Structure 1
Amino acid sequence: MLRIGLIGTENSHITHFTRFLNVEERHPGVRATALVGGPSPRNQELAELGAIERIVQEPADLGDEVDAAIVSSRDGGKHLEHARPLLEAGKAVLVDKPLAASVADAQELLALAERSGAVMLSCSALRFVPELSDFAASQETGRLRHLHVSGPADPDSEYAGLFFYGIHHVEAALEILGNPTVAPGTLEVRTVRREDTVVAWCEIAGTQVTFTFLTPGEGTRTPFHATAIYENAAVSRPLTLGGDYNAPALAEFLQAVEDGASPRSPQALLSPVVTLCAITESLERNPS
């Protein structure tokens, strides 16, 4: 049996992973067996939901009791701290979006995985929505000229600002663009903030890209959406997350564990963080 430890249990995604693995048993031979964060009411709830007997305080306390881990901490700034002991031990880790909230942390995570030979994966659920297939350029559409991705994200979020939701915009855009490498220091970004809206403009792989981040209101949240302008066509689609939106990332991770290798290159894992860091740095320079 592949034993998985769950870290960052405050995140509702952990409920999904517990349901997929322990309640519905979608992946025979794989089970969530430990929770990190101590005996909190939230962990007691998850323990009852998934019949999970082991609750520990810190990620390092998982020791040899798990074979892999899922890090879902809401604050991407904590992902390096939470994943480090697992990666150093050579255990596979699924880092729920974002991989990290800084380029330095992302690079350190990648270095840890490389040194230990551990499988590490991170990806937004928007990479798997069926609407993305509608954006494939063809002879009929011509070359993609401009891409606009919009959706909810709060630059003042306590969970690393735009990274909490904004990583979805960036990963969806990179998926549509064919996952080009965005190296640190190569992206020029212009941003404007007006009240609850942040707009960022940049060029990625020869395509003009616009991101619009709208701060969620009380009980309201702007849906994700993408519009692509081609030489001969325009495509506009909502990017819809269904109830099981975390299932494809989990399935990809478990396949990577079985294969012993991540399907996403280090450059592919780093590029979203590089892109969003460039956006947030531009916003810091031009806050209004």
Structure 2
Amino acid sequence: MSRFARLTPASLVLATLLPLASTRAGAQDAGAKPLRAGIIGLDTSHAVAFTRSLNAPEPKPELAGVRVVAAYPGGSPDIEGNTKHVEEYTRELRDVHKVEIVGSIDALLAKVDVVLLESVDGRPHLAQAEPVFRARKPVFIDKPVAGSLADAVRIGRLAERSGTPWFSSSALRYSPSIRKLAGNPAIGDVVGCDAFSPSPLEPHHPDLFWYGIHGVETLYTVMGPGCISVSRVRTDDADVVTGTWRGGRVGTFRGTRRGPHDYGALAFGAKGIVLGQGFGGYEPLLAEVVKFFRTGRPPVSAKETLEIYAFMEAADESKRRGGAAVTLESVLAHAREEVDRESR
């Protein structure tokens, strides 16, 4: 059983927080002041895109009730172009959207109700999330959830112990072109899927964490959790990762580094085969984030998110082993052992 699935005292704390979140949502519906959102990490265009939508003079109904009021810039100078992006996006949030820029995460937490952890670099996410969990502020953690599978385990455990609601997702999970593949009667029961997305590499992250996450999350949106093992073929131009699911279903992810910059999936079902292609923007994801902030109920479980990152780590391990099949449970066990050793 996943450590995230166990009923613990922290889980009971979470159960007590959900009615409070629902009560807060009711207050929003009654015309109360919007939830105050804070952004950690201004080195990604997501921070600007989310703020533009949430702080619009007349936001869409599904985006209403949450407003960005403060931001902590952060940044990772060893990632190409990062410093320039921090300066550019900080300037827009401060000067155009009138968001207060603060000098620390603690200062931000004193001013907000909910948090968008947007740092493009997954490595600092654990350290950035720790004070958020201590403050018990509901948090959306943008991709990649962490810079390693072990850190993803640590984040899940910290959230569980504190009873803090959280979730992570690629925007592709909620892209209309992909959503139409899940539960589509024209497809019937899904028996397989071939998902694809760009997958440029960044030297400080496991190969697929940086950008391949978009296609891997697309694959999981169609297939659901339950992958047992993966194998990987890699060239300079592409990766092909084949996963075997419980019951014998097979799903693949193709990560491209040459040719069109596009996203999509071909879903194979008992009744039909349907292609979903194209990126639908950030607002479908943002609507889910707003709903999460209103209710305290994560739309993607911590257990599924951890499996997605185990899938990508197993793909890296398969590459190291020359394409051999690697089980997700083996890489999860290794990550948990690493975390347990440090906590002794």
Task: State the TM bucket, normalised to the shorter chain.
Answer: 0.7 to 0.9
1:192 is matched with: 233
Query: Structure 1 regions of 5+ residues with no counterpart?
Result: none
1:59 is matched with: 105
C-alpha distance in structure 1 between counterparts of 2:158 and 2:126, whole Å: 10
Are the equivalent residues in 2 in contact too, given 1:90–1:118 (CA < 8 A)? yes
C-alpha distance in structure 2 between counterparts of 1:232 and 1:77, whole Å: 43
Letter in 1 for 2:240: V
- Counterpart check, 1:76 vs 2:122: yes
2:326 is matched with: none
Give matches, 1:116-265, under 5 Å: 116-136=162-182, 141=187, 143-156=189-202, 158=204, 160-177=206-223, 179-182=224-227, 187-205=228-246, 206-215=248-257, 221-231=260-270, 233-238=272-277, 240-242=278-280, 245-265=281-301
Are the equivalent residues in 2 in contact too, given 1:92–1:120 (CA < 8 A)? yes
Which of 5, 29, 32 in structure 1 is aligned with 2:68?
32
Structure 1 position 45, deviation (Å): 2.3
Which of 28, 31, 35 in structure 2 is aligned with 1:2?
35
Are the equivalent residues in 2 in contact too, given 1:146–1:209 (CA < 8 A)? yes
Are the equivalent residues in 2 in contact too, given 1:22–1:51 (CA < 8 A)? no
2:312 is matched with: 276
C-alpha distance in structure 2 between counterparts of 1:133 and 1:28, whole Å: 22
Structure 1 position 234, deviation (Å): 2.5
C-alpha distance in structure 2 between counterparts of 1:134 and 1:279, whole Å: 27
**Normalising to structure 1: TM-score of the pair?**
0.84
Letter in 2 for 1:209: G
C-alpha distance in structure 2 between counterparts of 1:147 and 1:65, whole Å: 44
17-26 or 155-164, which moves further after superposition?
155-164
Change in 2 beyond 3 A, CA 1:10/1:142? closer
C-alpha distance in structure 1 between counterparts of 2:165 and 2:93, whole Å: 26
Are the equivalent residues in 1 in contact too, given 2:182–2:221 (CA < 8 A)? no
107-116 or 126-135, which moves further after superposition?
126-135
**Normalising to structure 2: TM-score of the pair?**
0.72
Q: Percent identity?
A: 33
Letter in 1 for 2:315: I
Q: Which has a greater percent of helix?
A: 2
Structure 1 position 148, deviation (Å): 0.8
Structure 1 position 280, deviation (Å): 2.0
Change in 2 beyond 3 A, CA 1:35/1:200? same
- Counterpart check, 1:110 vs 2:156: yes
Structure 1 position 96, deviation (Å): 1.0
C-alpha distance in structure 1 between counterparts of 2:161 and 2:38, whole Å: 21
Letter in 2 for 1:260: G
Structure 1 position 40, deviation (Å): 3.7
Structure 1 position 276, deviation (Å): 1.4
Which of 84, 89, 114 in structure 2 is aligned with 1:42?
89
Change in 2 beyond 3 A, CA 1:190/1:6? same
RMSD after superposition: 2.5
Change in 2 beyond 3 A, CA 1:134/1:55? closer
Query: Structure 2 regions of 5+ residues with no counterpart?
Result: 1-33, 75-85, 324-344
